[in-house]
């Protein structure tokens, strides 16, 4: 038995990554692909690496017949997504990969995204898609909001620690290194190879990165009181991958034990032996997240490093993982390919 | 029903790539891994990206019990391979990924590799592992010699053209761009990131690259007379991938038709529409090879560009493809994952 | 005594490179900088690496008073350049870095650039700026047309060979590897780091690259009969640099001697010992061009590899070299900084 | 008048960088180059990018006649340096680029470098070479100890802040991104392009990086009491450059003003406007250091980002700057070339 899938916004990187993953998924079947500016084109001209697949031609969203579709992946740009999802037939299960439904509080949404939400009803309904922490809700959800890729990385590092109360909540520093595909296939000067090769570029400094909205929401909810982290993101010369280096106050051994225990049954969340930290490439093109903990010569200080692939575990892999749950499949179906190394 | 696999030389890049591919192969099962200098270590300390897999600890070759093994992948260094394979129990099916059994003529072997062959009997027995052209022999072989990664790329571009007689055999120019993993995990100065970043480095100029021995052997055999190509390899700043740009004399349309026809039933060999040429990354981490043909403003000149991933289709993917045939499985089993892009 | 310089189009890469070089030039002084879309901005906001320099604010071209200017570097986009230069005061010495004045024949210009030339008088007047071969004309020129960066590289490799008649003029194959800054700071999808990292991308295949117009013009002129080369350009993941690999028919020793002799007094053109070929990074950020010659196992075949930095020797360094001549200075003034390695 | 220079250990990256910088220095003249393992070779075979320079052949140290030498740059590996410098004629001015003379306290040296110091007399004599803070001592020194490249970056960011008492000394977090050339031309697996391309690799976690010894020494000295920082270094895929992101407690405006004031007369230390932070490439191949300060949404939190080129300002450029002082030259002589961008 197969489930028929439509991908809206298939011409972006997360769309292409969904297709890559679905190609070896045993039961999902791609029935429709949209790409407004590229409507009418075959996927092989937008993404030649997919040329061996027998894929539907890109169409405009309004030309998709949703009657036969079981599930929609919505990989549209932020703000576009909400207006599209609002109009989709109510029976459809939807996994949204944009930022539109991540924040539950309309005011928080407006604060971080600069305008009122255009689909407040759906916003209320949406389940936050961090699979390992919202499994039950996701299983029963109609609309799941994929998390920010950086937000996912940081939460995998810190949620159990906040929950267990083993770190100082008022002194969390996060230093983010993010590859370029997190910014999509958009034409921006600082994303040119000429600009970013041999470079590291801090951006959104001073607490202005939008994924902070997710950290605020989730960490405060777990802690039962407001929690704010200090975060500096840096663009690095790589196409895929995220490294989140977290500087914490707490006992390193206790931090390690807490993470090990929390993730002992999690397939995709791998906690390294104490004192070892992961490198970014160890999770490349896979749905795995590696997490390491080290102590410091300064007593009471701990460093936690979490790495994952922004397009897979940080976005499209997470989306498939959630879709598996929503469709009653085993959560790991189609997601067990190991990382690509070197 | 599963087939039990031993990988000899599992601590190199082709060994790690074999494990990556076998991890999602439905019937192959890794029963033993050797790595002489790293014997006693778990794979997760040699390749942390594989930490989620339940793999055997690395052992010395002499500590492997081959009784229960169905097939051996030999990913040892050149020259080591022949002495090991010579001593393996005769019942074992073997796919060798080294250069040791690629050349049939002992004199040619000595010419290119600088010393007499150490396993001349096995050399005679070995089947050349370019799957798409040696399928029947591979199906019945006990020992298959994996091809050189660059040699595979060039042959996919040119074999049908030589066979069909549509190009001038005395005027074949090949310009090779090769990523660093083709040189393995060996510690050489020119492979340091400091040296090769922002660089392109020609090497083995003047007709000295060892893969020329394979071109000579195969092209001359097809043509029924000596054929020699002119080749300049270049190291490029990338970890995986090969681009072979071939400058040919012949009619471009005819060249294109010949390739299209030759590969019309080949799953992994994708011929692009006339006039389009592939980019290297379009085959990354996959078993696909993309081939494009363009004419030139100079009549009678043709450019053929072939790209593939040296570690997958150029080496470990090819090895699995051959193993599938030798084990009576469908040739594409476990190899259909699309390329990783971007 | 100083010479006052205006740079038109200072917000592009060649503009920034001119400023970098002029900053340590003993007599050139930057008096005006134009950048239409960025008019009103300080250079430090367009190129923060120049923040320590006391530079004029970017203005619109029409706001520059050319009365006090001794020389103009015109680093504007193709096609824009001709309409601007046409209107400049006649007393001004001009070095143009665009493609607008490279081709002498109006029909050739129209063929390669798709429309009639907009400044035919100046086109007639312009001297082709390949310094080492047009020194005397450049010394006396009012308007010098900077060459294409790839065109310069190929000509350094081949001009003396064509002149000396030591290679087969009907069988010249050139394989080009070019870094991204050659395409400028323009927003194009294929120039994104996400797209080009871990990639090699052939482009303008089949004899369509515009620099072929320059090769045709120059090589045919030297040979006294039409000469056409076969060229395939490839974008590589690097920000600066060009490698031109030339496949030739001719005696390698004779080729080497011819180049050595031709360039024995040239400061910037370094011919390597016979059999050695250069790597791209050996000329990085410098005005040097390295050229190597190797024979082949096939008798009568020769490979010549030339490398240079597209922004320096291929463009802005060349422009300064020409300006030095036009201003009566020593040609190498301000250009002797060695390459940056690694 | 020229000063005759010997470079010991000229075959490493800092040696090559010294030669690059001296090549355009108006008065320094290279009289001798040593390179033990490469003795007898011309520099052009070790570093082909220097082939246009007329340099002495590499010799063994014992074959250098120091009688005519005015100054020695010692670019030898750690530990080797001390035994060589101990034996040099006492009249020689020496700038050491190794780690051997950075720490004044013999116990601290032994703690961080694992064995007793082999030249304790010279250790006492050596002046710490952070030019902007030790100018007077350097002017009169015979032996100057070049700082660690990362240590320099961090000190440029923090020294004035510690001195002025505007940050919390017990809560300094530093996240370091370092390019590969900081590790030299040594053959280590993790420095291979195959390993580090598309990667970010934390290393020396938990307070074990040796440059912490320098931070401890200098920061504690300024503060007049022990200061320890928390630091995680990360290798990034780039050949040159350092980014130090510092997370501080203190008022951001005050931090910015303190740095601006401290560096208002410093040529090479550029403080950006408040709220702007630098990117790594903005200082590439130059002697400049860019420093930016940003506030945070969390009151009382400040982020300072400092970037420089590890081989230039972090090592060989700093060495020339110190040599200029020791020789009575203007400090900036030969060091004013702007950064190379892109």
Do B88 and B184 lie in one domain? The reply is no
Omega of the bond leading into D60 within 30 degrees of 0 (cis) = no
Residue C36: the pLDDT is 86
User: Rounded to a whole number, what is the distance in Å from the CA of C297 to chain B's nearest CA?
Assistant: 5
Instruction: Read off the CATH number of the domain in which C254 is found.
Output: 3.30.360.10
Asked whether residue B181 is assigned to any structural domain, the reply reads: yes
Q: Which of C314, C264, C304 is nearest to C162 (CA)?
A: C304
In this model, does residue C299 exceed pLDDT 90?
yes
pLDDT band of B141, cuts 50, 70, 90: very high
Q: A72 and A93 in contact (C-beta within 8 Å)? A: yes
The parent domain of residue A276 ranges over: 150-310
**Cα–Cα distance, D101 to A74 (Å, whole number):** 60
**Disruptive mutation site among D20, D23, D24, D52 for chain C (greatest number of C CBs within 10 Å):** D52
Do C201 and C267 lie in a common domain?
yes
Same structural domain, A138 and A101? yes
Task: List the CATH number of the domain containing D130.
Answer: 3.40.50.720
CB within 8 Å: D243 and A236: no
Picking from A20, A181, A284, the nearest residue to B338 by CB comes out as A20
CB contact under 8 Å between A278 and B336, yes or no, is: no
CB contact under 8 A, A51 and B290: yes
- Could you give the CA distance from residue C57 to residue C33 in angstroms, rounded to a whole number? 7
Q: Are C230 and B296 in contact (CB under 8 A)?
A: yes
Cα separation, D233 vs C108, in Å, equals 56
Pairs of CB atoms within 8 A across A/B: 96
Q: Please state, rounded to an integer, the average pLDDT across all residues of chain C.
A: 97
Share of chain B above pLDDT 70, in %: 100
pLDDT range class, residue B31, cuts 50, 70, 90: very high
Measured between beta carbons, the chain C residues lying within 8 angstroms of A196 are: 193
- Contact across the interface for B193 and D13, Cβ inside 8 Å: no
8 A C-beta contact, residue A175 and residue A245: yes
Tell me, yes or no, if A277 comes closer than 8 A to chain D by beta carbon.
yes
Tell me the shortest Cα–Cα distance from D194 to chain B, in angstroms.
5
Nearest CA of chain C to the CA of A183: how many Å? 9
Residue A74 dihedral angles phi and psi, to the nearest 5°: -105, 100
Question: How is residue C135 written in tokens?
Answer: 């020194």
**From the candidates D14, D194, D196, D285, which should be mutated to test the interface with B, based on the most B CB atoms within 10 A?**
D194
Per residue in A277-300, pLDDT tens? Answer: 999 999 999 999 999 999 999 999
- C75 shares its domain with C135: yes
Report the gap between the CA of C165 and the closest CA in chain D (Å).
28
User: Mutate which of A35, A149, A187, A193 to test chain C, going by most C C-beta atoms within 10 A?
Assistant: A193
**D194/B181 CB distance under 8 A:** yes
How far is the C-alpha of A6 from the C-alpha of A61, rounded, in Å?
10
Q: How far is A241 from chain D (nearest CA, A)?
A: 8
Using alpha carbons, select from B167, B160, B170 the residue that is nearest to residue B300: B167
User: Could you confirm whether C149 is annotated as catalytic?
Assistant: yes
Alpha-carbon distance D218 to D103, whole Å?
Answer: 9
Neighbours of A161 (CB within 10 A): 25
* CB pair distance less than 8 Å for D193 and B239: yes
Query: pLDDT exceeding 70 applies to what percent of chain C?
Result: 100
User: What's the pLDDT tens digit per position in C148-158?
Assistant: 999 999 999 99
- Tell me, yes or no, if C241 comes closer than 8 A to chain B by beta carbon: yes
Residues C137 and C193 in one domain: no
pLDDT (tens digit per residue) in C164-204: 999 999 999 999 999 999 999 999 999 999 999 999 999 99
CA distance C159 to C255: 11
Residue D60 inside a domain? The answer is: yes
| Closest to D248 measured CA to CA, from D154, D314, D133 | D154
Distance CA C176, CA C244 (A): 5
Given the residues C74, C149, C246, C289, the one annotated as active site: C149
C186 and C71 in one domain? no
Asked if residue D320 and residue D288 are part of one domain, the reply reads no
In a domain, D251, yes or no: yes
CB atoms within 10 A of CB D63: 11
What average pLDDT does range A174-198 have in this prediction? 97
In a domain, B342, yes or no: no
Over residues B89-96, the mean pLDDT reads 94
Least Cα distance to A1 among A318, A316, A329 occurs for A329
Residues of D that are catalytic: 149
CA angle A267/A268/A272 to nearest 5° reads 95
What is the C-alpha separation between C271 and C307, in angstroms, rounded? 11
| Angle between helix D252-262 and D149-164 (nearest 10) | 110
Interchain pair D200, A279: CB under 8 A = yes
Judging contacts by C-beta atoms under 8 Å, the chain D residues touching residue C51 are 270, 272, 282, 290
- DSSP labels for A195-245? HHTT--EE-STTTT-THHHHHHHHHHHHHTS----EEEEEE-S-SS-EEEE
Q: Give CA–CA dist B35/B29, Å, rounded.
A: 18
Determine how β-strand D3-8 pairs with β-strand D28-34.
Answer: parallel
Do residues A13 and A130 both lie within one domain?
yes
pLDDT of residue A91 exceeding 90 = no
Residues from chain D that touch C285, judged by Cβ atoms under 8 A, are 285, 340
D301 and D163 in a common domain: yes
The whole-number pLDDT of residue D3 equals 97
Peptide bond into A342 cis (omega under 30): yes
* Tokens matching residue B131: 């799957």
CA–CA distance, D139 with D152 (Å, rounded to integer): 19
Q: Chains that contact B by 3+ CB pairs under 8 Å?
A: A, C, D
Residues of chain B in contact with residue A339, where contact means CB-CB under 8 angstroms, are 20, 49-50
| pLDDT of res. A1 | 82
D340: DSSP letter: P
Closest CA to A280 of A186, A122, A153: A153
Touching check for C281 and chain D: CB below 8 Å? yes
Chains in contact with A, where contact means 3 or more Cβ–Cβ distances below 8 Å, are B, C, D
Coil/strand/helix, residue D124: helix
- Predicted local distance difference test score (pLDDT) of residue D266: 98
CA dist A114 and A79 (Å) reads 10
Residue position matching structure tokens 């990085």: C284
What does pLDDT average to over chain A? 97
Q: Are C5 and C300 in contact (CB under 8 A)?
A: no
D48 and C24 within 8 Å at the Cβ level: the answer is no
- Please tell me if residue B185 touches chain D, with a CB cutoff of 8 Å: yes
Nearest CA in chain A to B44: A272
Place of tokens 């690629």: B102
In the complex, which subunits touch D with 3 or more CB pairs below 8 angstroms? A, B, C
> For residues D106 and D120, is the Cβ–Cβ distance under 8 A?
yes
Provide, rounded to the nearest whole percent, the portion of chain A with pLDDT above 70: 100
Q: Around Cβ B136, how many Cβ atoms within 10 Å?
A: 9
Stretch D118-146: mean pLDDT, rounded?
97
Residues whose CB is less than 8 angstroms from the CB of residue C342 and which lie 6 or more positions away in sequence, other chains included: B194, B195, B197, C281, D13, D181, D239, D240
Percentage of residues of chain D with pLDDT beyond 90: 98
CA distance to A144, C327, C333, D2, per residue, from C26 (Å): 64, 13, 8, 20
Q: Which residue in chain B is spatially nearest to C206 when comparing CA positions?
A: B296
Q: Which residue of B has its CA nearest to D195?
A: B239
Mean pLDDT across chain B: 97
Spatial separation of the C-alpha atoms in residues C195 and C184, rounded to whole Å: 16
**Quick one: average pLDDT of A141-151?**
98
Task: Say which of B24, B53, B338 has its CB closest to residue A50.
Answer: B338
Q: What pLDDT digit, counting tens, does each position of B196-233 carry?
A: 999 999 999 999 999 999 999 999 999 999 999 999 99
- Alpha-carbon distance of C82 to C109, in angstroms, equals 12
Which pLDDT belongs to residue A51? 98
Smallest CA–CA separation between A14 and chain C, in Å?
13
Whether A336 maps to a domain, the answer reads no
Cβ A303–D206 below 8 Å, yes or no? yes
Q: Is the pLDDT of residue C91 over 90?
A: no
pLDDT at D6 over 90: yes
Active site residues of A: 149
Q: Domain for residue C91, yes or no?
A: yes
Residues B316/B308, Cβ–Cβ less than 8 Å: no
Choose from B202, B294, B308 for mutation: most chain C CBs within 10 A: B202
C61-80: average pLDDT: 95
DSSP secondary structure, A125-183, as one string: HPEE--HHHHHHHHHT-SEEEPPPHHHHHHHHHHHHHHHHT-S-TT--EEEEEE-GGGG
Give strand pairing partners of A7.
A33, A73
Helix (H) or strand (E) holding D125: helix D120-125
Q: Where is average pLDDT lowest: A6-10, A318-322, D119-123?
A: D119-123
| CA A283 to the chain's CA centroid | 14
Model confidence at D36, pLDDT cuts 50, 70, 90, reads: confident
Q: Where are the beta strands (DSSP E) in chain B?
A: 3-8, 28-34, 58-59, 71-74, 93-96, 127-128, 143-145, 173-178, 201-202, 230-235, 242-249, 269-271, 289-294, 301-308
Q: What is the C-alpha separation between B50 and B52, in angstroms, rounded?
A: 6
- Cα D147 from Cα D97, distance rounded (Å): 7
Q: Which of C13, C187, C197 is opposite residue A238, by nearest beta carbon?
A: C197
CB of B249 less than 8 A from some CB of C: no
C188, A191: Cβ pair inside 8 Å? no
CA neighbor of B53 nearest in space, from A49, A233, A341, C281:
A341
Q: In this complex, do C199 and B280 lie within 8 Å of one another by their Cβ atoms?
A: yes
Same domain, A9 and A140: yes
- Residue C24 belongs to some domain of the structure: yes
Q: Tell me the C-alpha distance between C185 and A188, whole Å.
A: 10
Q: Which residue has the tokens 């300002």?
A: D313
Strand partners, D269: D289
Alpha-carbon distance D15 to nearest alpha carbon in chain C (angstroms): 11
Cα–Cα distance measured from residue C36 to residue C20, given in angstroms and rounded to the nearest whole number: 20
The count of C-alpha atoms lying within 13 angstroms of the C-alpha of A315, restricted to the half-sphere facing its C-beta, is: 30
Peptide bond into B342 cis (omega under 30): yes
What confidence tens digit (pLDDT) does each residue in B237-289 have? 999 999 999 999 999 999 999 999 999 999 999 999 999 999 999 999 999 99
Q: Are A288 and A319 members of one domain?
A: no
Same domain, B298 and B319: no
Chain B, chain D: beta-carbon pairs less than 8 Å apart: 62
Distance from CA of A147 to the nearest CA of D (A): 22
What's the total number of domains in chain B?
2
Residue A183 with chain C: CB contacts under 8 Å: 194
Q: Residues 291-310, chain B: which have Cβ within 8 Å of C?
A: 292, 294-298, 301, 303, 305, 307
C188 contact A CB<8A: yes
Distance from CA of D60 to the nearest CA of B (A): 22
In-domain check, residue D335:
no
pLDDT at position C1 is 82
User: Is B272–A19 a contact, with Cβ atoms under 8 angstroms apart?
Assistant: no
- Distance between CA A193 and CA A201 in Å, rounded? 13
Nearest Cβ partner for A240 among D198, D239, D305:
D198
- From the number of C-beta atoms within 10 Å of its C-beta (0-12, 13-18, 19+), residue A224 rates as exposed
């Amino acid at each position: 038995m197969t489930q028929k899938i439509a991908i809206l916004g298939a011409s972006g990187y997360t769309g292409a990554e969904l297709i890559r993953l679905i190609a070896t998924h045993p039961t999902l079947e791609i029935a429709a692909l949209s790409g407004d500016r590229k409507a009418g084109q075959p996927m092989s001209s937008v993404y030649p690496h997919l040329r061996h697949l027998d894929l539907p031609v890109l169409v405009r969203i309004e030309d998709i017949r949703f009657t036969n579709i079981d599930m929609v992946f919505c990989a549209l740009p932020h703000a576009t997504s909400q207006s599209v999802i609002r109009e989709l037939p109510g029976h459809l299960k939807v996994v949204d990969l944009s930022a539109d439904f991540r924040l539950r509080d309309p005011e928080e949404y407006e604060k971080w995204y600069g305008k009122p939400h255009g689909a407040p009803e759906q916003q209320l309904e949406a389940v936050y898609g961090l699979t390992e922490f919202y499994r039950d809700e996701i299983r029963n959800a109609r609309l799941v909001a994929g998390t920010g890729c950086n937000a996912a990385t940081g939460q995998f590092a810190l949620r159990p620690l906040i929950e267990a109360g083993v770190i100082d909540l008022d002194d969390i520093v996060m230093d983010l290194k993010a590859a370029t595909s997190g910014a999509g296939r958009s034409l921006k000067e600082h994303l040119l190879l000429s600009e970013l090769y041999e470079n590291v570029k801090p951006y959104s400094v001073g607490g202005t990165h939008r994924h902070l909205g997710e950290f605020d929401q989730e960490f405060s909810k777990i802690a039962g009181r407001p929690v704010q982290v200090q975060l500096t993101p840096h663009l690095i010369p790589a196409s895929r991958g995220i490294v989140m280096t977290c500087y914490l106050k707490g006992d390193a051994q206790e931090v390690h034990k807490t993470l090990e225990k929390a993730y002992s049954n999690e397939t995709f969340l791998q906690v390294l032996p104490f004192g070892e930290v992961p490198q970014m490439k160890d999770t490349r093109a896979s749905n795995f997240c590696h997490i390491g903990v080290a102590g410091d010569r300064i007593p009471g200080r701990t460093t936690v490093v979490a790495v994952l692939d922004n397009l897979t575990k940080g976005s499209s892999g997470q989306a498939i993982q959630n879709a598996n749950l929503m469709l009653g499949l085993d959560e790991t179906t189609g997601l067990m390919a190991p990382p690509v190394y070197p």
